[in-house]
Structure 1
Amino acid sequence: MKCLSTAGRGMVSVLFAALLAGLSTANAATREITAVFRPDPAKPMDNKFVNTTLVSGFCHTFPAQCAAEGLFSMLVRGLDFESSGPIQPDQPDIRQGAMVTIPGGWRTMQIVNSATGESEELSVRIAGWGGGYTLSESVIDIVGGGGSIYEGHEKLWVGGNWRRAPQPCRATSVSNHFGFTGFEFFWITPEQDVTCAKQTKYLIPGFKYSQMNLAYELRTPNPLKMSTGHYTGSITYSVGPGQDFDMGDIMLPNDSALTLNFNLEVQHTLKVEVPPGGNRVDLEPQEGWQAWLNSGRKPTRLFRDQRFHISASSRFKMALECQYVSGNTCAVAEPDTGHAVPVDVSVSLPEGLTDAAGQPVNRRRLLRDGSGTELFQPSFYVDRRSGTLHFEVGRSQVEEMLDSGAKAYSGNVTVIWDSEV
């Protein structure tokens, strides 16, 4: 008999995109984040999305710190905040001064496969905030920096310049003045929504934040449990007094929303390799045919185990297609008489591949309708590991074959690995 093995089309791809856009105005900021999951034979246990977005902002300057903390960053040009009046010195109400509420807590959204409708959860949080502030006039001259612009920014604020982040925000190494009135800064935020405020020692007639610099952190779904295709979803942060991004009552934005739209694509591998000649399976007794030929002792079974190699990062199912059918399984037949007997076909899968209940797969029966093999799933990327197909004709069927006087039975059995689960 013959065993033909086929692999389900197993390239499943994850492109991961987020779009930042203010919803209410034409000049809303827009940013795209891309990421991909592609199984790596060199790192079979590392099954995560890789963010492939062009890096801008904080992480471009400090890549090692971002890598250590699992952060990404982007510049969001076009979303600015400007004071509606002067900021008074020693202002006891932080909402009338320079403050920011940052949505540092995790927000979760559904992302949906546009082809199948299945959904997964993705979470995001804002992990850092910064940019540049600009004073409306040369306040530094009034403060007096001893000839140093940097020293002027130091003296302007309670607790020192904006490199010194107010609690509960955390300082970074970003600290640079531009021109006579501008200063760049960046603060790291904890995993919760927080408010951080700086108090001025001197009157500031006008104040502006520009070139918003955001760091973000992602919790992506497990790509090994995702089907191929594109997934989309979105989350919107409100911007303005009392909103998600809240700069107080005096610092007003030029837009009212910041939206993140996600587009994910997954690239899976499902590949099955049968050794040369492995598509022809000869069923024989365990001790060979010599005992039958010499003594007439009938074999208890005919069987053959056929090894194969499988590479899989995606879910898959298995089933049979048959040249000759016997109930829910395949058969081999004697061509002259048409006499046929069923063949039991089962599969053993390597470590790392389990059934839907998480159980190992050992001699799992394969049937034409696929029942019992509707879902196998990887717990890590399985790269070219050995599995076994088991073919067997039982004792009573062997006796039928021998009693019929036929010399040979044959039939085609197609074993299907299908990634379209």
Structure 2
Amino acid sequence: MFQIEKNYNIALWLDKWFIEDFGIDAVPALYLKLLTLIFVLFTISFLSWYFTKIVIVRSVHKIFLKTKVAWDDILIDKRVFEQISYLVPAFIVVLISPYIFGDFPILIGYVIILTNIFIIMVLIRVAITLLSVFDEVLSQTIILKDKPITSYVQVLKIIVYFIGGILVLSLILGKSPFYFLGAMGAMTAILLLIFKDTILGFVASIQMSVYDMVRVGDWISMPKYDADGDVMSINLNTVKVQNWDQTITSIPTYAFITDSFKNWRGMNDSGGRRIKRAIYLKVSSFQFCDEEMLSQFKKYKLIQDYITKTGNDVQKFNAEISDSEIVSVNTRRLTNIGVFRIYAEKYITAHPDINKDMIIMVRQLESTSKGLPLEIYCFSSEKEWLKYENIISDIFDHLFTITSEFELEVFEEPTGNDFRNMNK
């Protein structure tokens, strides 16, 4: 640093050098002196920045890379220390400007103001980067990895930008920061209108976090926005969902509070994924079982015990009926639809990919013009989509095919060929 002397600085020394030693006129010497001072200031700033970045920053990087913790590596990846290195030449400019521009007092003020603005902008950038590091570190923790941390970090970033903007304006206009805060109070309605989505998103993020409505990685369905897939990220204004067709849907964060959606997390956390599908059977194919049919059914391993036990119960009931009451209406008989329902239930229960601890049911629904729906209701132990669909296909491949063994027919809408065959 140069010593502070009232009548001596670099500018006076340059005056002596240009005018007395080189004999340059006063006006050209003034401009030449100014350019030289600017070059000197730039050179000092560049050398201080280069030294800071090459020597100090690299040394810090080497030290941090040797540690076992992960957060300091994120600081290096985000280039935090390289951004901080820009502060060193800025502080040096503020300190040496009065000595360099001694003959240009007005210029000193502008240089210091511009440098202070630069310092504020660098500090804003560093603060924003540190918040990003904070977000990434917290998002990797087990407790908070599925929480909308990014939304809160984005709010803090907005606050940093707001404070930085106030400070820059106060330097440019020469006003106190509180002056602008007072003016902002009068613009509250306009600010609320401008930041409406941001405010709604922030409130929604808090509610989503408190009530644990949506997490990153959840499978959600939101038909209004044509979204059906996994949540990729939860931000202040949007929630990104990667659909199963690999497209990405952006949904306003506040929509998760105002609109309905389905979260499949409960299914993932449970012991199985629900299978709920019906087979439509023709009512005209229903019939009572004769002895030949029962003999055939007894060969089916899954329902051998049922046919034997139920057959004995039926015979016992019919034996107690008097001779005068023995008509087909008064007797009990097994039906092919009833036996098939029991077979389907036994088959599903014996299936290795069906969760036996959850409900297993085969039931008849209300008949329709398409026949009688026989609904399969159970839960697969596999919840992954591909495996889940394969399990359903295996079950219904078998059930659809084996209906003919019970002399049942599956309903189908008539086709063109059916109508043509009717005319033959």
For the aligned pair, the TM-score class normalised by the smaller chain equals under 0.3
Larger Rg over CA atoms: 2
Structure with larger RCO (C-alpha < 8 A, sep 6+): 1
- In proportion to residue count, which structure has more helix? 2
The TM-score normalised by the length of structure 1 is: 0.27
- In proportion to residue count, which structure has more strand? 1
The TM-score normalised by the length of structure 2 is: 0.27
